[in-house]
């Protein structure tokens, strides 16, 4: 065997819907959905729905088994992608889709070198009491991805895993829904298409930090959002967004979400003012309050235009006023499968 696995709180934490945090599961029949679940997109949602169904059928507990970071962040950091969701966001979305618990494994060098059989025996069976597994057909695990659903089907019974279900890839258009495809859309500004694959708008969240105050001097005060360095920020541009303040709930949970407002968001290095740092700043329409020190969540709905350099501040003011005018025209509201508002310029 290449690696060893030592049980402990530093290697596995299970976050429960009722806010408990444990490092093992005993006495329960766990149905495990396996994957990293970045974005919790339509393909991931299909897996989680199947987990729910199997758990209900065998009187088990639906649990998502995932990692605290993208495996490539350890295996090949130069190839690690920017993420669509934070750990906290992934947990909240998975709870929203019916999971009772989220088992979050620490992906480090020890985990990367663990043999597939050890992963199944020591973690899935030994520590998590898994009796059934649901995963995408291409899901792999263990050292160099040597394990997969075929191994679990062939040998799972030895470890008490008696049922293995696979979910075919969800397809929209000619391509399957994947985190990679969503990243590519966001990196071209196609936030509406990304929302179709996610089943909801793409979102960024973070604290509001002090800016230069230039937006206020122009007549359009902005809140500058601090975004984690490992999060994917869409391509530079001006976007129609909705904004809501996040209020911290209990430590093991994400947040509750309060009132939503329309906004115009800019991602750029402020070329009109010869800026160098990339800034994410949002003007919240019809709001005068200061958001400094608060935590905001931004939902992307449409790209209004690319970033360009203006001759002077007056030209920029006129363009911002036009951006706001267009954003206000977003009157079409479609409902996604979870009843969330999606604004679209395509109805104009």
User: What does the longest C-alpha to C-alpha distance in the chain come to?
Assistant: 72
What is the arithmetic mean of pLDDT over 185-209? 96
Task: Pull the structure tokens for residue 262.
Answer: 């329309």
Q: Where are the alpha helices (DSSP H) in the chain?
A: 42-58, 72-75, 87-96, 109-112, 116-118, 149-155, 179-186, 191-198, 214-218, 313-328
User: Per residue in 277-310, pLDDT tens?
Assistant: 789 999 999 887 788 889 999 999 999 999 888 8
* CA nearest to 346, candidates 179, 238, 182, 196: 196
* CA nearest to 302, candidates 187, 194, 183, 175: 194
User: Per residue in 240-271, pLDDT tens?
Assistant: 999 998 886 433 344 455 578 899 999 988 65
User: Per residue in 202-253, pLDDT tens?
Assistant: 999 999 998 665 656 666 889 999 999 999 999 999 999 999 988 864 333 4
- Report pLDDT for 267: 95
Residue 25 binned pLDDT confidence (cut-offs 50, 70, 90): confident
Cβ proximity of 247 and 226 under 8 Å: no
Cβ proximity of 80 and 72 under 8 Å: yes
Please give the Cα distance from 53 to 6 (Å, whole number).
Answer: 32
Task: Pull the structure tokens for residue 39.
Answer: 């974005």
Write the DSSP string, 205-256. Answer: EEEEE---SHHHHHT---EEEP--TTBPPPPSEEEEEEEEEEEE--TTS-EE
For residue 67, is pLDDT > 90? yes
- Report pLDDT for 216: 60
* CB proximity list for 17: less than 8 A, separation 6 or greater: 95, 99, 100, 101
* CB proximity list for 260: less than 8 A, separation 6 or greater: 242, 243, 244, 299, 341
Residue 315 binned pLDDT confidence (cut-offs 50, 70, 90): confident
Please give the Cα distance from 202 to 186 (Å, whole number).
Answer: 9
HSE, CB side, 13 Å, CA atoms: give it for residue 295.
14
| Start-to-end C-alpha separation, the chain | 61
Phi-psi region of 80 (alpha: psi -120 to 50; beta: other; left: phi over 0): beta
Domains, the chain: 12-172 (3.40.50.620), 202-347 (2.40.30.30)
Write the DSSP string, 67-100. Answer: ESS-THHHH-GGGPPPBSS-HHHHHHHHHHTT-S
Please give the Cα distance from 136 to 145 (Å, whole number).
Answer: 14
Looking up tokens 């950091």 gives 77
- Report pLDDT for 219: 60
For residue 72, is pLDDT > 80? yes
- Report pLDDT for 329: 83
User: Per residue in 107-144, pLDDT tens?
Assistant: 999 999 999 999 999 999 999 999 999 999 889 898 88
């Amino acid at each position: 065997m290449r690696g060893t696995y030592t049980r402990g709180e530093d290697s596995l934490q299970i976050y429960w819907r009722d806010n408990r945090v444990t490092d093992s599961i005993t006495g329960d029949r766990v149905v495990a959905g396996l994957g990293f679940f970045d974005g919790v997109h339509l393909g991931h949602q299909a897996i989680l729905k199947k987990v729910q169904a199997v758990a209900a059928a065998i009187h088990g507990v639906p649990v998502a088994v995932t990692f605290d970071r993208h495996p490539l962040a350890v295996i090949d950091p130069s190839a690690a992608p920017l993420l669509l969701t934070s750990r906290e966001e992934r947990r909240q979305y998975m709870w929203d889709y019916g999971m009772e618990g989220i088992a979050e494994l620490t992906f480090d060098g020890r985990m990367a070198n663990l043999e597939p059989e050890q992963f199944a025996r020591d973690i899935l069976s030994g520590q998590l009491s898994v009796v059934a597994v649901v995963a995408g057909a291409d899901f792999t695990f263990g050292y160099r991805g040597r394990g997969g659903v075929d191994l679990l089907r062939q040998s799972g019974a030895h470890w008490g895993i008696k049922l293995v279900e696979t979910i075919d890839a969800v397809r929209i258009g000619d391509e399957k829904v994947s985190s990679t495809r969503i990243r590519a859309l966001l990196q071209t500004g196609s936030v509406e298409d990304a929302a179709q694959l996610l089943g909801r708008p793409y979102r960024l969240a973070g604290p509001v930090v002090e800016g230069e105050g230039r937006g206020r001097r122009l007549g359009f005060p902005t809140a500058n959002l601090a975004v984690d360095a490992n999060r994917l920020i869409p391509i530079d541009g001006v976007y129609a967004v909705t904004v809501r303040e996040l209020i911290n709930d209990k430590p093991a949970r994400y947040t509750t979400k309060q009132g939503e407002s329309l906004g115009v968001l800019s991602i750029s290095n402020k070329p009109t003012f010869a800026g160098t740092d990339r800034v994410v700043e949002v003007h919240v329409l019809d709001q005068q309050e200061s958001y400094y020190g608060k935590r905001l969540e931004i939902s992307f709905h449409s790209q209004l235009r690319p970033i360009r350099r203006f001759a002077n501040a007056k030209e920029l003011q006129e363009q911002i006023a036009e951006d706001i005018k267009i954003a206000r025209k977003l009157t079409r509201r479609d409902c996604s499968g979870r009843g969330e508002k999606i604004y679209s310029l395509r109805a104009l």
